[in-house]
Amino acid sequence: MIEVDARTRKWGKSIGVVIPAEAAKQEGIGPDADVTLTLRRKAMPLEKIFGSIKLKKPVAKIMREIDEEMDFG
């Protein structure tokens, strides 16, 4: 079993996933093979999230407040 990142594509009224040739070869998967998929939406990197979310306070202030509330001693 291997983990592969793939992009979904519209295929008629369904959504298809293309298995890269190298991954298919490694797993011995060919045309018309039955496979089991575990689906998980890829997480968005934090760099993209910051700036797209509108917060009431600046991020720096929120982070300072979190640090002040944490007890490290």
Which string of DSSP letters, residue by residue, matches the chain? -------EEEETTEEEEPPPHHHHHHHT--TT--------PPPPPHHHHTTTS--SS-HHHHHHHHHHH----
Q: Nearest Cα to 10, choosing from 18, 2, 1, 22?
A: 18
Q: How far apart are CA 70 and CA 59, in angstroms?
A: 17
Per-domain boundaries in the chain: 8-69
Q: Say what the pLDDT of residue 44 is.
A: 73
Over residues 10-55, the pLDDT tens digits come to 999 999 999 999 999 999 999 999 999 888 888 777 666 666 677 7
Q: Is-above-0.95 flag for pTM?
A: no
Q: Say what the pLDDT of residue 27 is.
A: 94
